[in-house]
Amino acid sequence: MSELFGTLSDGTPVHRWTLERAGVRVRVLSYGGIVQSVEVPDRDGRTADVVLGFPGLDGYREHPEPYLGALVGRYANRIAGGRFPLDGRAYALEPNSGPNTLHGGERGFDKRVWDVEPVEHGLRLSRVSPDGEEGFPGRLEVTATYTLDASGALRIAYEAVTDAPTVVNLSNHTYWNLSGSGHAGGHELRLAASRYTPVDADLIPTGALAEVSGSRFDFRTARKVGSGYDHNFVLDKGVTESAEEVAELYDPASGRVVTVATTEPGLQLYTADHLTSPFAPGDGIALETQHFPDSPNHPDFPSTELRPGGVFRSETVYGFSVR
């Protein structure tokens, strides 16, 4: 089911699509591939929206920096100095976070209107990112398919092909609040990651892979999330062909649980400490499945290179339950 959600200043219409299955209702926008809402029941059967979103298009246009629910790319997370080498050539990107490039640049995938077509139990979003967009090389054809499976789990599957060597890292930037409102720091997180990537003052990885043991980064046993996180965790499973469960977020107050399964090697935990009005710091928790930040500048990190003839594939599944 689709409806007109708003119109951009150039007259481009933005539509909202509603998916519903197994007691789960998800709303997705053609603008930015944004997951606007996810409605699921608590342990008493009361339904609430458990992600942060704006009620209208103006909210997303006026407050773009939190990337609420957005499909981020062409490169999710940060690239240091807005530059990276590829095949002996240095590429300069559009910096939008101090000297660095964050989530694809000033007009990344989160600020583009995607073509949308219905598929069985879901939607397929597609667009072509032209050669040179935000400084990235190659004409990139991208699809992102959002579906609800028989259990009500939300599955996001990405594919991309290019006509020239490039780098790709796609993710979803949904903020979860399983209580439906208020501060999310009391949620409990379990994360299958024995290492993380330490960062400098600009949140750029140093290149080290540090052990979480004995530190505040150890979520291998579930505990309260708290605050102060904007870090990439190195998932123990690495890159996999099919999505494997790597995280569980639990809200003791409502009993709601969201699990995260992915093919990706990393997960960025962001506790939203810098959210501003109409939200407050800590109102949501982002669990961004991804390759590592600044990978193009760290040859030892899993590669994000994509070449002609190859296909970028990534899948993440969010499962919902109560206890």
Would you say 172 is a known binding-site residue? no
In this predicted structure, what is the pLDDT of residue 203? 97
Q: How far apart, in whole angstroms, are the C-alpha atoms of residue 68 and residue 65?
A: 8
Domains and CATH numbers, the chain: 2-322 (2.70.98.10)
- Residue 217 and residue 195: Cα distance in Å, rounded? 8
Computed over every residue of the chain, the mean pLDDT equals: 98
Q: Is residue 160's pLDDT more than 90?
A: yes
For tokens 């530190």, the residue is: 215
Mean pLDDT of the 176-180 span: 98
Is 15 a known active-site residue?
no
pTM value > 0.95 = yes
Whether the predicted pLDDT of 301 surpasses 90: yes
Q: Is 155 annotated as a binding residue?
A: no
Would you say residue 307 has pLDDT above 90?
yes
The answer to whether 300 and 160 are in contact (CB under 8 A) is: no
Catalytic-labelled residue, pool 39, 103, 134, 173: 173
Contacts of 155 (CB under 8 A, 6+ apart): 122, 145, 146, 147, 148, 149, 243, 315, 316, 317, 318
Residue 1 pLDDT: 87
Q: Has 21 been labeled as part of a binding site?
A: no
**Structure confidence at residue 151 (pLDDT):** 98
**Pairing verdict, β 101-102 and 89-92:** unpaired
E strand spans, 198-239: 210-211, 223-224, 230-235
Q: Is 60 annotated as a binding residue?
A: no
175 is in an annotated binding site: yes
Q: Is 77 annotated as a binding residue?
A: yes
Whether 173 sits among the annotated catalytic residues: the reply is yes
**Model confidence at 224: pLDDT above 90:** yes
Q: How many CA atoms lie within 13 A of 322 on its CB side?
A: 17
Q: Let me know: does 213 contact 194? Beta carbons within 8 Å.
A: yes
Query: What does the DSSP 8-state code read for residue 205?
Result: B
Alpha helices by DSSP H, listed for the chain, are 57-62
For residue range 101-120, what is the model confidence (pLDDT) as tens digits?
999 999 999 999 999 999 99
Over residues 140-153, mean pLDDT: 98
SS3 sequence, 245-284? EEEEEECCCCCEEEEEEECCCEEEEECCCCCCCCCCCCCC
**CA 17 to the chain's CA centroid:** 19
Q: For position 118, what pLDDT does the model report?
A: 98
The residue from 133, 134, 264, 288 that is catalytic is: 288
Phi and psi torsions of 237, nearest 5°: -75, -20
pLDDT in tens, 246-281: 999 999 999 999 999 999 999 999 999 999 999 999
